[in-house]
Amino acid sequence: MSYQTLEVDLENGRIRPRGAELLPAKARALLTIMDTDPDQPSDSNRTLGDALRELNVQGDGTYTDLSTNKAHLDDLGR
């Protein structure tokens, strides 16, 4: 069994390939619906702390963040 991923546009219930690739004449497929405009960045200004609080995540303080920008953790634990 082999899989192929193609980027497509879905409009009015019809699927069109995006780009130069062609769709097969007949196939079984799985359809994943993505954001309507994936090229636009998210407007979210949430910090990592905000996102983790929304998920009700609680840490025990035993892990260290190894990233070079630790400012995104400034409000973590508040």
Domain ranges of the chain: 1-35
Ranges 4-18, 20-34, 48-62, 64-78: which has the least confidence = 64-78
Q: What is the pTM of this model?
A: 0.38
**Amino acid sitting at position 42:** S
Average pLDDT over residues 43-67: 71
Tell me the C-alpha distance between 33 and 51, whole Å.
23
3-class secondary-structure state, position 70: helix
Residue pair 20/48 in contact by the 8 Å Cβ criterion: no
Tell me the C-alpha distance between 76 and 47, whole Å.
9
